[in-house]
Amino acid sequence: MSIAFACLATPVDPDAPLAMPMPVRRPRDPLVEGAVPLSPGEAHPAARSLRDRPRRHRKIHGLDRVSLGRVIGFIADEMGNGIALSDLAAIAGVSRFHFIRLFKASTGLTPMAYLERARIARAQEMMGRGGLSLSQIALMVGFADQSHFTRRFRRHAGCTPSVFANRMGQQPPRGDRS
């Protein structure tokens, strides 16, 4: 910290005993008039103390078993309908943002990633049973259209739904052409 000597405002009396001038601390805050500017690489002392302080992370334990069971049951039952994050959070009794953190701590996936995986798994089951076209399956599990279903299915299963159905031994019926 730099120290400057204060100038004496009164004229010096030559007969007075010599006194040491009082050191005056100059403020370092750049917003204060007359402050010492910080050098380009130097951080403000307050910022440095915050940066060096160890962070404390609270561990998030996740949803309790009852709430998690209700949410997963709701997803399984209402998969074909539009499921909003706010609906799932309301079932758990927490805010949407807190619900995402709790759900991910419980399952390892975000709620929407879990929903998408559940939809793909249900679609695979339905393809294994046969009797439905891929577009019908896509709509029944909650995808907007067959194109979206195919893109997401390929991402999760590594092949298209028709290739998957062929491997399962089920030839999916073509769309209604009657």
Q: What would the pLDDT profile of 87-98 be if each residue is shown by its tens digit?
A: 999 999 999 999
Q: Is residue 129 part of a domain?
A: yes
Which pLDDT score, from 0 to 100, does residue 155 have?
93
Residue ranges of the alpha helices (H) in 31-84? 45-52, 65-77
Confidence of residue 75 (pLDDT cuts 50, 70, 90): very high
Q: Do both 93 and 105 map to the same domain?
A: yes
Whether 138 shows a pLDDT value over 50: the answer reads: yes
Per the document, the length of the chain is 178
Question: What domain range is 157 assigned to?
Answer: 113-167
Question: Same domain for 128 and 139?
Answer: yes
Structure tokens at 121: 């798994």
The neighbour count for residue 143, using CB atoms within 10 Å, is 22
144 lies in some domain? yes
Q: pLDDT at position 166, please?
A: 87
